[in-house]
Amino acid sequence: MSSDRKGASVCALWVRRNGKRSDGTPRMSFFFVEPEIYKQHKDEILRLSDSIQVNYQEHLPVGERNRGLSDAEIAQRLDLDEALVREIRVVAERDYYDIEEWQKAIEFKDKACRAFAKEGLKYVFKNRK
């Protein structure tokens, strides 16, 4: 972890607390992000990530498409610590979508998994020619 990156002191606290117990099991940790830092970076982090998965890009010419960036890539681009970017992204995703949207996603994934388990690849390619 680089001390010249913004948020590094906050992230260092997270790293120290995120160790393992003497029996090898992971220790529960917490991460604190200053509200000002969260507000300053949340929109840009969501925009750069794959958090909002609206595939409008399939209609763009290949040269104009951009994939979502990983947390590490976003951290490098914004000169932030990767753990800080990850925490902001996760909290921002929860702020962006209401509970009904999360429930719909769970139901969609459950239905898709059950259908794939039952029908295999023909479920994936159903109604495609």
The pLDDT tens digits of the residues spanning 97-111 come to 888 888 998 898 898
Better pLDDT: 24 or 120: 120
pLDDT band at 51 (very low <50, low <70, confident <90, very high): confident
Please check whether residue 11 is in contact with residue 30, taking contact to mean a CB–CB distance below 8 angstroms.
no
Q: What token pair was written down for 129?
A: 């020619």
The per-residue pLDDT for 14 is 42
Global pTM reads 0.59
pLDDT band at 16 (very low <50, low <70, confident <90, very high): very low
Lowest mean pLDDT segment, chosen from 57-66, 67-76, 94-103: 57-66
Rounded mean pLDDT of 33-47? 91
The per-residue pLDDT for 44 is 94
Distance CA 5, CA 1 (A): 8
Residues paired with 6 in a beta bridge: 80
Average pLDDT score over the chain: 76
The per-residue pLDDT for 89 is 92
Nearest to 51 by CA among 42, 59, 60: 42
* DSSP conformation class of 28: P
Nearest to 17 by CA among 8, 25, 26: 26
Better pLDDT: 61 or 10: 61
Q: Which residues contact 12 (CB under 8 A, 6 or more apart)?
A: 1
Dihedral pair phi/psi, residue 26, rounded to 5°: -65, 145
In the chain, domain spans:
8-96, 99-129
Please check whether residue 84 is in contact with residue 33, taking contact to mean a CB–CB distance below 8 angstroms.
yes
Cβ atoms within 10 Å of 109's Cβ, excluding its own: 10
